[in-house]
């Protein structure tokens, strides 16, 4: 029972996704320089964000926007984002699927 409440609280499977991935793709143009439109980083100090969990992306963007998490570039970019922008970007990058192969 506790696990079910936890999954609903963090927006896991079965939780409603408020963001629009198509709108997020359009808004991701500001992200592409460092993170790539495909969410695969182009910079050595920027993380890959493709396939990341939407709730994590929303949380981190909100923290950059509020100043709780500091970064000279992300702080400036995130301050320009509305709640809807954050939801859409998180939905877009979370919708990207990655494949991983382990070596034999």
Give the CATH number, domain containing residue 57: 1.10.760.10
Q: How confident is the model at residue 37 (pLDDT cuts 50, 70, 90)?
A: confident
pLDDT at residue 8 is higher than 80: no
User: What percent of the chain is modeled with pLDDT above 70?
Assistant: 84
Q: Are 61 and 52 in contact (CB under 8 A)?
A: no
Q: Tell me, yes or no, whether 3 lies in a domain.
A: no
pLDDT of residue 67: 96
Q: Is residue 91 part of a domain?
A: yes
Nearest to 95 by CA among 46, 28, 5: 28
For residues 18 and 10, the answer to whether their CB atoms sit within 8 Å is: no
Q: What is the C-alpha separation between 95 and 19, in angstroms, rounded?
A: 11
What pLDDT, in 10s, does the model give residues 74-94? 999 999 999 999 999 999 999
The pair of structure tokens assigned to 84 is 């809807």
Residues of the domain holding 45? 20-95
Residue 3 confidence (pLDDT): 41
Residue 10 in this model has a pLDDT that exceeds 80:
no
Q: Is 102 inside any structural domain?
A: no
DSSP, collapsed to helix, strand or coil, labels residue 38 as: coil
Is 10 part of any domain? no
CA distance 10 to 38: 25
Instruction: Determine, yes or no, domain membership for 25.
Output: yes
pTM summary value: 0.80
Number of domains within the chain = 1
């Amino acid at each position: 029972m506790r696990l079910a409440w936890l999954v609903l609280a963090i927006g896991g499977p079965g939780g409603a996704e408020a963001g629009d991935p198509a709108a997020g793709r359009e808004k991701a143009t500001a992200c592409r320089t460092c993170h790539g439109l495909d969410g695969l980083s182009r910079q050595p100090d920027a993380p890959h964000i493709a396939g990341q969990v939407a709730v994590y992306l929303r949380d981190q963007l909100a923290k950059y926007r509020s100043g709780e998490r500091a970064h000279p570039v992300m702080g400036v970019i995130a301050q320009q984002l509305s709640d809807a922008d954050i939801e859409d970007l998180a939905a877009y990058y979370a919708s990207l699927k990655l494949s991983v192969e382990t070596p034999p």
